Amino acid sequence: MRRPSLLSIIVLLTASNYTWSQDLKLNDLEYLETQGVNVLVYNNLFTGGFNDEKNAGIELIHHGVRTAQGGAVRLSNTPEQWDLVPEISSRKVDRASKSIEAMLRYKDYDFDSRVVVTAKGKGVEISVYLDKPVPKVLEGSAGFNLELLPSQYWNKAYLMDGRYNRFPRYVVGNTITRPNSEKPKQFKGYITSDDRGTGKFIDPLPLETGRTLLLAPDEPSRLVKITSQDADLMLFDGRVLAQNGWFVIRSILPAGKTGKVLTWTLEPNAIKGWIREPNIGFSQVGYLPSQPKVAVIELDKKDKPLAKASLYKVGNDGNVAEVFSGKIIPWGNYFKYHYVKFDFTTVKDPGIYYIQYGNFKTNNFLIENNVYEKITDATSDVWIPIHMNHMYVNEAYRVWHGEPFKEGYRQAPPNTDHFDLHSQGPTTDTKYKALELIHGLNVGGFFDAGDFDIETGSNISVVQNFVHTWEYFKPLRDQTFVSQQQRYVDLHRPDGTPDVLQFIEHGTLNLVAQAEIVGHMTQTLSNAVLDNYHHLGDAASLTDGLPYDPNLGPYEVAKDGRSSGVKDDLWAFTTRNPSLDLNAATMFAAASRALKGYNDDLSSRALLQSKRLLKEATELLANKPQDTSAWARSANVGTNLQLYIATGEQQYKDKFQELLWPALDRSVNFNLLTALNAIPHMDASFKEKLRPYVVKYNDYIKGLEKNNPYGVPITLGNWAGSGAVMNFGTTICFAHKYFPDVVDGSQAFKVTNWLFGCHPYHNYSLVATVGATRPKNVFYGNNRADLSFIPGNVAPGILFRKPDHFENYDDWPFLWGQNEGTIAGNTNYLIFGSAFKNLVK
């Protein structure tokens, strides 16, 4: 017999899968769906901040995973993050025709297009309309793009007009170089890449070109067929230009034409009878024998909940036995899914367990008295010291980074718009001239996150978090060698000094230098060149370590080796913000206390700057329109509290109380933790006056049980909510400490459950290496190009995508809103973890 060809098998599989599919319908949330397929059409819009965040346009959620996005008219083959994105000036839904229409506009080119997506059977028709032809300058550049998530397609097959190939696991492909003059304006005028004097930019060539593209015929859950009636489909690998690039399918818009100028048909496969597997949420770290133990099970709305679930114990001999069976407790619907709970609190014997729900069982976890003892160790021992700026950081045989930015920082020129959402105002607000070197700022401080800048606001929060940790819990853990004289850090090498004290010193050194040298707090110390900003790898190689000399030629080094002609020096953005100065005054007052007896000189300098900044910022704010944000209004409350604790002066105590009670009336949730921190320093009447606010907060805690199945505050913005959840947990710990009759300390276990696996989308621990069986494996850190992580990193968490989808990719790190650990967020975790461990004890 003749063996059937691969093509015939694929055709049969494809045909059978499509006969199982159901027609797409327009639902009440204004997207197109059938079971297993959601097609979102500009439910999420491109931003004007970071432009292309890979979170917008026409999106495909395919069998529970968002696999495609960015469907829109774009101006390059493989758009990068800061490329221009279209403004969506209007969006119309026509239920009769099952279509959604959006107007896309590039105001830089006075270029408008209309994209209409219409349900057609099991797929959609995507049509592009032009009322005026493509502008001459964009001919050959303007096209319709759709981007595919690489991690969901690499190593899978694709066919272009019947020709077989596979999506590459690692970036491959051919490129050409073209003169910079041929590239359309894309980057808001920033210098975007270093062409090393060639005057040319890299332009990727397509992997394949044709009219019919079949994606992943070897994987029905990712199978998509795309055909174009009017123009070639080109398949590009966007990772050629940037590690965060996606696979791009693209058709060029024709020149000189109007009306309907392009039509695609997109047919995503929907597997017959597909039901999303249950997501059994539980703590990967495990549980104390005495604590509440409740798993939250996330179900497809078409999945019928079972009556019971079971708990199995793994014996010391390796044999497994069912030790508990309990009823499933219904909770209800929450956005896209249905939720039930499984309570196994009565199981208290230490051991190794797993949950069985129908045919699905979890990985194992522990019930033991010591499960929480080490939850902060990786963060304090590894992640935090690795992010110490202006230091050489070593770990055994590995160098995480050399000493960065030896050349220091230059004054940002007036009227400079920065690509990381900062700006320098019309003046420098300092004694320094534009681009003048500001000596003395290259000391101390922490990298903000996956980049290498010092975000002053974040660093202020960081030092404050360290001080709170030190003053309340006195952690004597010493696993890091820190030498400011040598500018050297060595991990896992004790040096006789508690690490937290050294972290306070390191952060304060930079912030005091800002106050003393600049005269106030900078907005940020950051990159002047975009090509440097998205640098991945060793921070010390981001610049050449030599001050720039305009008298030298490009890449020329002075004969004495002390300067160069490379414009890679970082800038200080120094526009004064009195509210930021107030926050710094708060932190300096607290830091002065912690440093007393350890670094007395730095302690006295910090206290001096605290008093000065408080006085000057208060005067400046009195002459400006009132900032009504909760952040700004609360700053002065905390500043006066910290100064009172540091000095004992009555004026600060009086001012604190004058400001506190109106702040609590405005927002108990936002200000209660500050009030709780004041209790040890106030009299008994203060605590009793605070009691009604704690009662109100306790009502908020209880209300969250009805708000969502996890009972924690879940945020729905473009940055996921781990920070809000941790703040919630810290507040519970302190409220229970001072008001145990009002706030039940066991409420804090909801926070550890969430962080360590009991949350939507998947059940992985959101803290790298914490949750021994299944922590997240990839994060957005400065080693994200390796699809790896830095131990102790804490992910922002489960990101909400409008209108009803939660996600957290664990195979693709490049979405910062769900995967980027920050220095402020991770030290927030440090103080929560410390407060939580104290509560457990």
Cα(647)–Cα(359) distance, integer angstroms: 63
Q: Same domain, yes or no, for 359 and 414?
A: no
What confidence score (pLDDT) does residue 296 get? 98
Q: Same domain, yes or no, for 514 and 603?
A: yes
Q: Considering the domain boundaries, does residue 681 fall inside one?
A: no
173 pLDDT band, cuts 50/70/90, is confident
Residues 6 or more apart whose CB falls under 8 angstroms from that of 739 comprise: 691, 694
Q: Which of 268, 298, 313 is the last residue of a domain?
A: 268
Contact 143, 251 (CB under 8 A): yes
Residues 6 or more apart whose CB falls under 8 angstroms from that of 658 comprise: none
17 pLDDT band, cuts 50/70/90, is very low
Can you tell me the mean pLDDT for 250-254?
Answer: 98
Q: For 15, phi and psi rounded to 5 degrees?
A: -60, -45
- ∠ CA 499-635-599 to the nearest 5 degrees? 30
Q: How far is CA 99 from CA 62, 262, 397, 455, 538, in A?
A: 20, 16, 59, 44, 49
Q: Around 645, how many Cα atoms within 13 Å sit in the side-chain half-sphere? A: 25
Q: Same domain, yes or no, for 70 and 122?
A: yes
Q: Same domain, yes or no, for 325 and 221?
A: no
In this structure, what is the dihedral angle of CA atoms 482, 486, 490, 496, given to the nearest 10 degrees? Answer: -40
What confidence score (pLDDT) does residue 15 get? 47
Can you tell me the mean pLDDT for 250-262?
Answer: 98
Contact 819, 825 (CB under 8 A): no
What confidence score (pLDDT) does residue 294 get? 98
Q: How far is CA 320 from CA 362, 699, 739, 772, in A?
A: 14, 42, 43, 20
Q: Considering the domain boundaries, does residue 720 fall inside one?
A: no
Q: Which of 311, 343, 367 is the last residue of a domain?
A: 367
806-821 tens-digit pLDDT: 999 999 999 999 999 9
Q: Same domain, yes or no, for 348 and 460?
A: no
Q: What is the number of domains present in the chain?
A: 3
Q: Considering the domain boundaries, does residue 301 fall inside one?
A: yes
> Is the per-residue pLDDT at 316 higher than 90?
yes
Does residue 339 sit in helix, strand or coil? Answer: strand
What confidence score (pLDDT) does residue 532 get? 82
| Range in 186-195, 335-344, 445-454 with the lowest mean pLDDT | 186-195
Can you tell me the mean pLDDT for 546-555?
Answer: 93
Can you tell me the mean pLDDT for 309-328?
Answer: 97
Can you tell me the mean pLDDT for 58-62?
Answer: 98
5 pLDDT band, cuts 50/70/90, is very low
822/191: higher pLDDT: 822
In the block, which residue shows the tokens 């950081």?
393
Residues 6 or more apart whose CB falls under 8 angstroms from that of 741 comprise: none
Per the prediction, the chain carries an average pLDDT of 93
Q: Same domain, yes or no, for 260 and 298?
A: no
pTM of the predicted model as reported, rounded to 2 decimal places: 0.94
19 pLDDT band, cuts 50/70/90, is very low
> Is the per-residue pLDDT at 187 higher than 60?
no
195-206 tens-digit pLDDT: 777 788 888 999
107-128 tens-digit pLDDT: 999 999 999 999 999 999 999 9
Instruction: Find, among 811, 729, 836, 764, the residue nearest to 365 by Cα.
Output: 764
Q: Which amino acid is at 537?
A: G
> Is the per-residue pLDDT at 302 higher than 60?
yes
Q: Same domain, yes or no, for 226 and 286?
A: no
Q: Same domain, yes or no, for 154 and 257?
A: yes
Strands 32-34, 37-41: pairing kind: antiparallel
Q: Same domain, yes or no, for 244 and 292?
A: no
Q: Same domain, yes or no, for 335 and 382?
A: no
What confidence score (pLDDT) does residue 530 get? 83
Q: Same domain, yes or no, for 563 and 426?
A: yes
Task: Find the helix packing angle between 600-622 and 499-513, rounded to 10°.
Answer: 50
What CATH number is associated with residue 422?
Answer: 1.50.10.10
811 is catalytic: yes
What CATH number is associated with residue 352?
Answer: 2.60.40.10
Altogether, the residues listed in the chain come to a count of: 841
Residues 6 or more apart whose CB falls under 8 angstroms from that of 116 comprise: 99, 100, 101, 125, 126, 127, 129
What CATH number is associated with residue 72?
Answer: 2.70.98
Q: Considering the domain boundaries, does residue 164 fall inside one?
A: yes
2 pLDDT band, cuts 50/70/90, is very low
372-428 tens-digit pLDDT: 999 999 999 999 999 999 999 999 999 999 999 999 999 999 999 888 888 999 999
Q: Considering the domain boundaries, does residue 432 fall inside one?
A: yes
Cα(838)–Cα(732) distance, integer angstroms: 12
Among candidate residues 53, 298, 499, 820, the one labeled active-site is 820
What confidence score (pLDDT) does residue 21 get? 54
DSSP result, 499-535: HHHHHHHHHHHHHHHIIIIISS--SEEE-SSHHHHT-
531 is catalytic: no
Q: Which of 367, 388, 412 is the last residue of a domain?
A: 367
Cα(164)–Cα(202) distance, integer angstroms: 27
What confidence score (pLDDT) does residue 710 get? 98
Q: Same domain, yes or no, for 238 and 305?
A: no
Q: Considering the domain boundaries, does residue 542 fall inside one?
A: yes
Q: Considering the domain boundaries, does residue 819 fall inside one?
A: no
| Range in 532-541, 676-685, 719-728, 730-739 with the lowest mean pLDDT | 532-541
214-245 tens-digit pLDDT: 999 999 999 999 999 899 999 999 999 999 99
Q: What percent of the chain has pLDDT over 90?
A: 87
CA-only gyration radius of the chain, Å: 28
Q: Considering the domain boundaries, does residue 703 fall inside one?
A: no
Residues 6 or more apart whose CB falls under 8 angstroms from that of 818 comprise: 720, 795, 796, 797, 798, 799, 807, 808, 809
Contact 14, 162 (CB under 8 A): no
What confidence score (pLDDT) does residue 632 get? 60
Residue 588: domain span: 376-624
> Is the per-residue pLDDT at 281 higher than 90?
yes
- Copy the structure tokens of residue 169: 């696991």
